[in-house]
A = this chain, B = another copy of it.
Amino acid sequence: MHSFHVWAPKPKKVALQLGERVLPMQGPDAHGSWTLDVEEANWGDEYAFLLDDDQTAYPDPRSAFQPHGVHRPSALYNQKAFEWHDSLWQGPPLTGAVIYELHIGTFTEGGTFDAAIEKMAYLADLGITHIEIMPLAEYAGGRGWGYDGVALFAVNHCYGGPDGLKRLVDAAHKHSLAVILDCVYNHFGPVGNYTGKFGPYTTDKHHTPWGNAINFEDAGSDEVRHFFFDNALMWMRDYHIDGLRLDAIHEIIDRSAVHFLEQLSARVDNLSATVNRELVLIAESDLNNPQIVTPIEAKGFGMDAQWSDDFHHALFTVLHVEKDEAAKGYYNDFGDFESLAKSLKYMFVYDGKYSEYRQRKHGRPVDGLSAHHFVGFIQNHDQIGNRAIGDRLEHIVGVPRTKVALGIVLTAPFIPMLFQGEEFAASTPFLYFADHEDPEMAKMVAEGRKKEFAAFGWDENQIPNPEAPDTFLHSRLKWDEVTEGKHAEVHDWTRQLIHLRRSSICLNDGDRGHLEVRWDNAKRWLRMERELVVTLVNLGTEPVEFEITSEYRLALASDPAVRLENDCVVVPPDALAIVSAETE
């Protein structure tokens, strides 16, 4: 027996199509829900819904498995059948995390969950504590970043489906790796989204870059909110996921007295208490609003952390200056060591000050919050993949500056995050790729991408076609590189940095009152003091002598030419040194 259930306040009648059978559903109840108990229904059976007199059978908006993609029927999936091996799993705290972002399709040659499992031991050895997986919800086509998901409860069948994900999470936990999943709660993808046939999932009161906003505040929004709550809780409860990264929460537009994010945060906290392990929410936010990561009790939204884009931009712009003015975009708001220092100490560079890029004042100060509410990185899927040719930092600035950047990221007060392959300066790009079966749509996406970068002065022929299979394949990591030449050098450096961080009390201190940054914009040096550990950075053209007292020893240096002298450390150009007075 299986109880079928669907929220569908729009149609006047709903029928279940189960294999060859068509069975009228009972409903609607007061809130527009329809139900049907079917005796002869088995796990794996395929089903869909018929709405009014529409001849198309639509998949379940809450389908747990779409074995044939987004347009075809859903399949009954038994969440309880998987045999877990992580019953003792508690998970490392987010405050001490080193996160590793990865995309299942390009992380390995195989491009599946099972292929990714092979790399868990490697990541654990590197010192990673949390992997963060780019979105897995079923989207249209066989290749994509995942941000255009439409069947949000279904694990992408191309990667190995629901059981595949469970095998990966189980394996990650076996290696003491927590798993964060990237979830998109601000829009549905443009292809294969049938939710609008069922109910008011969107509202025309607010427009996002992807069209009408998700309906978090209008009639029927209770059910829409529950759709997303249940989605979030499903990952954590049924898939043993340890946290979610919420995509672009500034496009979750909600005037309700209780914001969706606050309510989500409270529900995740409740589940955390029930399952007896830490569950976290990490927001991507373009608002520079500390309320996002303020605890609910202090009238915040209760997110555990948010991405720190200001730090990325501040660091990137001192490592590299785009030649073309037009290419700068938001980088125009950054570019000096003062901004970098401010991002390290105060998190938001834009904390109320005027942004040329935004043509308005932006943000508010982060008062009284630990730096552990912020995730810092110099690379991620967007910062690489949204570049015209998907080039990584090392391709742009070379090995020495890449090592400097890693040194800053991994000794900064933020929770550090790396992007797959960053740890060995992978030669492969991370390109924007998609796979739209509809040739018109595919052409539109490809042309759109070309035009976007033509505006920045690029020759259209240089822009890889997102729809070409090669664009996807070229983005796959080449794992042989890890042990070769400069890749091995960067890998070794990254590994040392992570191990230094994880063993240091000072580097894990989120109290921003304990952090001092000094810098010289003309000579291009920066000194970040985290009590007993000091990071010394020279991005100038001359060696810099940093004064230190005698209790400090040289912990790590990105360049063998770094020298510890009597009262100072001499750091050559494009190098970084870390000195420590912590007892080992």
Contact = CB atoms under 8 A, between A and B. Distances in A.
Given A204-B207, A299-B299, A358-B219, A287 B363 contact: no
Interface in A356-401: 358-364
A257 interface: yes
A352 interface: yes
Interface stretch (A107-115, A288-296, A332-340): A288-296
Contacts of A255: 250, 253, 287
Contacts of A300: 299
Interface residues of A, number: 34
A499 to B, nearest CB: 37
Contact of A206 (B206, B250, B364): B206
Which of A219, A257, A360 has the most CB atoms of chain B within a 10 A radius of its CB? A257
Given A204-B207, A207-B204, A299-B299, A258 B360 contact: no
Nearest to A221: B360
Nearest to A30: B356
B299 A256 contact: no
Contact of A360 (B218, B250, B288, B361): B218
Contacts of A218: 360
Nearest to A258: B364
A253 B298 CA distance: 23
Nearest to A218: B360
The SS class assigned to the A binding surface is loop
Contact of A299 (B207, B217, B221, B298): B298
A210 to B, nearest CB: 12
25 contacts: A206-B207, A206-B253, A217-B360, A219-B359, A219-B360, A220-B359, A220-B360, A222-B354, A222-B360, A222-B361, A250-B255, A253-B253, A255-B287, A256-B287, A256-B289, A257-B287, A257-B288, A257-B289, A257-B352, A257-B362, A257-B363, A257-B364, A258-B352, A298-B299, A299-B299
Interface of A: 204-207, 217-222, 250, 253, 255-258, 287-291, 294, 298-300, 352, 354, 358-364
